[in-house]
A and B are shown apart, each in its own frame.
Chain A
Amino acid sequence: MMSLYQPGALRAPDNGHHGAIEKTHAESAGPAMVLQGLHKSFGAQAVLRGVDLTVGSSKTLAVLGRSGTGKSVLLKLIVGLQKPDAGSIRIHGQEVTTSNVEAMNEIRKTMGFLFQHAALYDSLTVEENVAFPLRRHTKMTPSERGDRIGELLTSVGMEGDLKKMPSDISGGMQKRVGLARALALEPSILLLDEPTAGLDPITSREIDELILKLQEEHDVASIVVTHDLHSAKLIADRIILLHEGNAVIEGTFEELEKSGDKFVAEFFKDS
């Protein structure tokens, strides 16, 4: 099994547009995320049984696996929405599992999370959804905030829908707004939970291309949970395959495609 850690470049320096956003971990040179021996059970059902993985700065890791193998749980453990039964999660060297609420919230500010169904706040407009993290974690003036929202929504192609409510836009558009919101605080880590799930093939490709473009522009370390092999091939540097609570194989798409393992071959059969 090959190591996932690849010494990545330092994060790109701040472009100077958003001085009010504090970047506590932006310049760390080590791996962005290190997960060791993660165990998680729900009742008698063991979902994760000792998962290890490392994601280097500016690298994208795709997590594949059958439904119910704990892929989304893995992301929720990383962002501290759930606690692991055992194991360690270090974000830029800082342990997540033993952090108190304040420390965890500071770590969360360095991460952007795109939920499977976007999870936009349905009582807020598109503009207010993107403004939500900016209002709470920056000291931007209304004008600076407006500029930043415009810039983010333009980068995801939603600049014309500022005043719309989430219920008035399509699933693909909601994912775009969710991405803009996830990137609002210029995170150094991006967690994407099935970004193309439930979308038609054309919109899926658009979202993939958008993620690629944003990764290049924002230079973030990403974990992408997906069932979509084409998406994983396009956007991920490395792929990890979860099965029965363990990471059974990791490598590039081409390496996994050529694997002789029966389960891996079955998984990549239609790629």
Chain B
Amino acid sequence: MNYTTKVARPWTSPDAPQGAPLVRSPLSSLWGSINGFFEWFGELGIFVWQVMRAAVRRPFEGRELIRQLDEVGSKSLPLVALAGAAIGAVLALESRYSLIRFGAKSMLPAAIVFSIVHETGPVVTGLVVSGRVGAGIGAELGSMKVTEQIDAIEASGVNPYNLLAFTRILACILMLPLLTLVADFFGVVAGWVATTLAEPLSLRLFIHAGFGGTSFSDFLAPTFRTAVFGLIIGVIACFQGMRSQGGTEGVGRSATSSVVLSSLFVILADVVLVKMILVFFP
């Protein structure tokens, strides 16, 4: 029996006809990029649909959800608190000189609180969590994918979209608002510490001046918009992890792309959500 081994040339597509040019033209390269872009969104849509279908099916993976709440929430807490504190301190130091120049030094506590609660706290929390949790989920699921652990879960009759993806996404959605409150708290406290080191001011007076003009609704919309950030981080990281391929290099790519894409989409979503909040909660 006659048999031959066909080896695809590494610089051409395996299905490229014989004699095809070795270097792709800029036009075909551009077409490939556009195609890949829409393909990615298509696959993301299918992934979200599969997670939604898995989410309404039994069993509810309570144990795994609790484990993920701990992974996303408790273990991100020190980093989020530190980031919030750093931002609060820097805001106090930077704003102080600007406000003194304009003769509005008394507005400093309100400026710090408003800035942290409305924008800095939610965005910093979203970006810190997308870095820590996005990379963690992308690498963990990517590693499980390339070592066939996800196949093993599916082969044993368990839905991996329910066990692995839905629990992580839900944990991100639930934990982001709570982590944002932590970042806000440490930001305000560090803002007061930085302010009082420059010019002594009691905490009571700082809080009174800072929160004097704010209402509960001022906290609500900005804090809960981070649930959308959690959704974005969870979906992107799980998607990138579960489509990982190509061994350890693929796991690295999944982790990196999880962080890059989730950070990018958090920033884009922030722009849209801020506009929506201004429209619906003027």
List chain A positions with a Cβ less than 8 A from chain B: 43-45, 76, 79-81, 101, 105-106, 108-109, 111, 113, 115-117, 119-122, 132-133, 136-137, 181, 243-244, 248, 261-263
B151 touches A115 (CB 8 A): yes
Residues of chain A within 8 A of B149, CB atoms compared = 119-122
B15 touches A244 (CB 8 A): no
Pairs of residues from A and B, 3 with the lowest C-beta to C-beta distance, nearest first? A44-B15, A108-B157, A119-B152
Within 8 A of A (CB), among B139-161: 143-144, 147-149, 151-159
A101 to B160, CA, bound (A): 12
Residues of chain A within 8 A of B1, CB atoms compared = 243, 248, 261-263
Given contacts A108-B157, A243-B3, A262-B1, contact A122 B147 (CB under 8 A): yes
List chain B positions with a Cβ less than 8 A from chain A: 1, 3, 14-15, 59, 143-144, 147-149, 151-159
Residues of chain A within 8 A of B152, CB atoms compared = 113, 115, 119-121
9 A-B pairs (CB sep. < 8 Å) = A76-B151, A81-B154, A105-B158, A113-B156, A117-B147, A119-B147, A119-B148, A121-B152, A263-B1
Residues of chain A within 8 A of B153, CB atoms compared = 121
Q: Considering only CB atoms, which chain A residue lies closest to B1 in the complex?
A: A263
Residues of chain B within 8 A of A243, CB atoms compared = 1, 3
Q: Considering only CB atoms, which chain B residue lies closest to A78 in the complex?
A: B155
A108 touches B156 (CB 8 A): yes
Residues of chain B within 8 A of A116, CB atoms compared = 148
B151 touches A119 (CB 8 A): yes
Nearest Cβ on chain B to A133's Cβ, whole angstroms: 5
Besides A121-B152, A137-B156, 5 new A-B residue pairs in contact (Cβ under 8 A), listed by A number: A113-B152, A115-B148, A116-B148, A122-B149, A133-B157
Residues of chain B within 8 A of A109, CB atoms compared = 156-157
Best-buried of B143, B147, B149, B157 by chain A (most CB within 10 Å) = B157
A80 to B159, CA, bound (A): 12
A108 touches B14 (CB 8 A): no
Given contacts A81-B154, A101-B159, A132-B156, contact A43 B15 (CB under 8 A): yes
State which of A137, A181, A261 has its C-beta within 8 Å of the C-beta of B157: A137
B158 touches A136 (CB 8 A): yes
A87 to B106, CA, bound (A): 78
A113 touches B155 (CB 8 A): yes
Q: Considering only CB atoms, which chain A residue lies closest to B8 in the complex?
A: A45
State which of A44, A132, A244, A261 has its C-beta within 8 Å of the C-beta of B14: A44
Nearest Cβ on chain B to A77's Cβ, whole angstroms: 12
A51 to B153, CA, bound (A): 27
Nearest Cβ on chain B to A74's Cβ, whole angstroms: 14
A117 touches B15 (CB 8 A): no
Nearest Cβ on chain A to B178's Cβ, whole angstroms: 24
Residues of chain A within 8 A of B144, CB atoms compared = 121-122
Q: Considering only CB atoms, which chain B residue lies closest to A243 in the complex?
A: B3
Nearest Cβ on chain B to A117's Cβ, whole angstroms: 6
Residues of chain B within 8 A of A79, CB atoms compared = 155
Q: Considering only CB atoms, which chain A residue lies closest to B50 in the complex?
A: A101
B14 touches A45 (CB 8 A): yes
Residues of chain A within 8 A of B3, CB atoms compared = 243-244, 263
State which of B59, B148, B155 has its C-beta within 8 Å of the C-beta of A108: B155
Residues of chain B within 8 A of A262, CB atoms compared = 1
Q: Considering only CB atoms, which chain A residue lies closest to B67 in the complex?
A: A123
Residues of chain A within 8 A of B154, CB atoms compared = 80-81, 108
Nearest Cβ on chain B to A69's Cβ, whole angstroms: 10
Q: Considering only CB atoms, which chain B residue lies closest to A105 in the complex?
A: B157
Residues of chain A within 8 A of B158, CB atoms compared = 105, 132, 136
A115 to B3, CA, bound (A): 29
Nearest Cβ on chain A to B156's Cβ, whole angstroms: 5
Residues of chain B within 8 A of A101, CB atoms compared = 159
